[in-house]
Chains A and B, each alone.
Chain A
Amino acid sequence: EPEVTQTPSHQVTQMGQEVILRCVPISNHLYFYWYRQILGQKVEFLVSFYNNEISEKSEIFDDQFSVERPDGSNFTLKIRSTKLEDSAMYFCASSYDNEQFFGPGTRLTVL
């Protein structure tokens, strides 16, 4: 069964460094998303992407964040200068229509 994949599974970085989280959505899906979950808290929406542009973003998704679909299969989330509070589980999701399918997540630890 097709699934969303994410790499790496765990990323440790120093505060102020740039990180790129990678996702491969399900191949025929049209909509792509990033969410995050800080330990012990709710899953929070960051951004959605459709037709090669951002379709919606939350107030969390500020100028430090960017997304890109560099080729026909990958979808990336870049954090330019990481802060301690960016430590969280980051989930990529994709959908063909309404039902969203999530990847296993990347645990980002900022030291």
Chain B
Amino acid sequence: KQEVTQIPAALSVPEGENLVLNCSFTDSAIYNLQWFRQDPGKGLTSLLLIQSSQREQTSGRLNASLDKSSGRSTLYIAASQPGDSATYLCAVPNSNSGYALNFGKGTSLLVTP
């Protein structure tokens, strides 16, 4: 069964810092990996999807990398802002189906002014 782990569980940084969130998964036979943002009491917002054939994907100040062989992904946030404060979730689909997402517990990020 695919297990997804995210480190750190929580992170507090001053505004303007660059930061890295980590995600690891146990079964490297993945189709893709998706990063989400979740604000308190709200739904999940898709940030980036990396296909298994890709090594990285960028959207604005966000850059996600994928190393399938080592079972790791990182989400890099450049020049952090208070509005980036949220929980960031990493998810990978089941290897046998390709659709059911397995989520990590998330990294709770606080960016202070």
Contacts and interface: CB of A to CB of B under 8 A. Distances in A.
Interface residues of B, number: 26
A91 B49 contact: no
B43 A91 contact: yes
B65 interface: no
A76 interface: no
Contact of B45 (A56, A95, A98, A102): A102
The dominant DSSP class at the A interface is strand
A26 to B, nearest CB: 12
A100 B31 CA distance: 13
Contacts, number: 60
Contact of B44 (A31, A45, A98, A102): A102
Given A33-B99, A98-B51, A99-B34, A43 B44 contact: yes
Interface of A: 4, 31, 33, 35, 41-45, 48, 55-56, 58, 91, 93, 95, 98-105, 107
17 contacts: A35-B101, A43-B44, A43-B91, A45-B94, A45-B101, A45-B102, A48-B100, A56-B99, A91-B43, A95-B99, A98-B49, A98-B51, A99-B34, A100-B101, A102-B43, A105-B43, A107-B41
